[in-house]
């Protein structure tokens, strides 16, 4: 009997912006439901802190494309977000990628945890391209990812590898780094 009530409440939260509750119990209750949403929002917010090489966008209103492999729920969620938002007048497009799809025209590449085994390949394909790669598994950074979502104390956090980004001519804002849970490769 408990579970149906929680679900109903969660749905209510989705459609009606009510004041969030920071109580420990309620936070744990939401994790499973909110993770992909949080990640979608974070992914979208990352755009503001990333600096692409100057020739990446031909016009000021050239769309920014986020390519997503796997993680469909999150891709759907992100699609909802970008449908109503733009970054400094620049429209954002969410494209679901299949394994055969090229990475051309992709500015941000999110790889879902289901493609965890092929991270290295995917990263390698993106290597040298000005594509911000974002992943959601523990050791993703060591495999060439630039930003990786973590679950710390039940909350979505992220770690970053600004060096890896630099290699792809991408600059991650220090402010974003300030918010990162962990920065990898900076010391090396």
Binding site for another protein (CB under 8 A): 17, 19-20, 38, 42, 45, 48-49, 85, 87-88, 155, 157-158, 173, 175-176, 178-179
Residues 6+ apart with CB under 8 A from 60: 89, 90
Say if residues 56 and 130 touch (Cβ distance below 8 Å): yes
Minimum CB–partner distance for residue 45 and another protein (Å): 5
| Nearer to another protein (CB atom), residue 31 or residue 120 | 31
Minimum CB–partner distance for residue 153 and another protein (Å): 11
| Nearer to another protein (CB atom), residue 32 or residue 128 | 32
Residues 6+ apart with CB under 8 A from 167: 128
State the Cα–Cα distance between residues 153 and 155, nearest whole angstrom: 5
| Nearer to another protein (CB atom), residue 38 or residue 140 | 38
| Nearer to another protein (CB atom), residue 85 or residue 127 | 85
Say if residues 157 and 135 touch (Cβ distance below 8 Å): no
Percent helix, strand, coil in the chain, to 5, is 45, 20, 30
Minimum CB–partner distance for residue 126 and another protein (Å): 24
Minimum CB–partner distance for residue 149 and another protein (Å): 11
């Amino acid at each position: 009997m408990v579970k149906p009530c929680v679900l109903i409440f969660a749905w209510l939260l989705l459609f009606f912006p009510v004041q969030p509750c920071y109580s420990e119990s309620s936070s744990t209750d939401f994790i499973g439901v909110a993770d992909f949403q949080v990640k979608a929002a974070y992914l979208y917010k990352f755009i503001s802190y990333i600096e692409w090489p100057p020739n990446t966008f031909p016009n000021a209103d050239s769309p920014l494309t986020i390519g997503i492999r796997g993680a469909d729920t999150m891709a759907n969620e992100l699609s909802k977000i970008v449908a109503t938002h733009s970054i400094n007048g620049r429209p954002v497009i969410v494209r679901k990628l299949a394994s055969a799809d090229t990475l051309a025209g992709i500015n941000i590449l999110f790889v879902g945890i289901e493609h965890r085994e092929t991270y290295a390949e995917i990263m390698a394909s993106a290597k040298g391209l000005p594509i911000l790669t974002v992943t959601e598994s523990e050791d993703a950074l060591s495999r060439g990812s630039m930003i990786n979502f973590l679950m710390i104390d039940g909350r979505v956090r992220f770690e970053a590898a600004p060096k890896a980004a630099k290699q792809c001519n991408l600059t991650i804002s220090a402010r974003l780094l300030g918010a990162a849970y962990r920065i990898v490769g900076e010391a090396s």
